[in-house]
Amino acid sequence: MKSILKLFLFVMVVFMLGGCATTGPKFTEFAPSISNMAPDTGRIYIYRPSSLGAAVRPDVKLNGEVIGEAISYGFFYVDRTPGNYEIMTSTEVSRKLSMTLDKGQTRYVRLNISIGFFVGHVYPELVEDEEGKKEIEDCRYIGQKK
């Protein structure tokens, strides 16, 4: 019985550490290489500043289009024309955030995790600019899904 428990714990640790492997440059290193947004667009940064539930990595959708993945300590960004947008993630349930993006505006969306029945729920939350700028600093660039 003890060997089964040890094996189970070992597998869980390996699984959790594998989910934490975020490579890529930190935001502070990557920021200088980010191009300026076009004058008629706005920018949305999406980031996950926690390792809680690292193995849970759902797709992130913007108005139904997959634009990235919710990876622990990872971030990506998209530039879009002004308008209304819905950011959605799905595990057992779908979680949505509705927001408006204005021309020249930068928005920060933090991906949080809550406890679910079988798997954690990743949900998007719009945060104030100053909070977003501070929290994203230690995240690593993971790129967009094409």
Residue 56: C-alpha distances to residues 15, 52, 111, 141 (Å): 11, 9, 12, 18
**105-109, 113-117, 130-134: segment of lowest average pLDDT:** 113-117
pLDDT of residue 23: 76
pLDDT of residue 106: 97
Q: Which domains does the chain have, with CATH numbers?
A: 2-141 (2.60.40.1120)
114-129 tens-digit pLDDT: 777 777 778 899 999 9
16-72 tens-digit pLDDT: 444 444 678 899 899 889 999 999 999 999 999 988 777 777 889 999 999 999 889
Run of H or E including 132: helix 129-136
Q: Strands across the sheet with 59-62, in order?
A: 65-69, 59-62, 83-90, 94-101
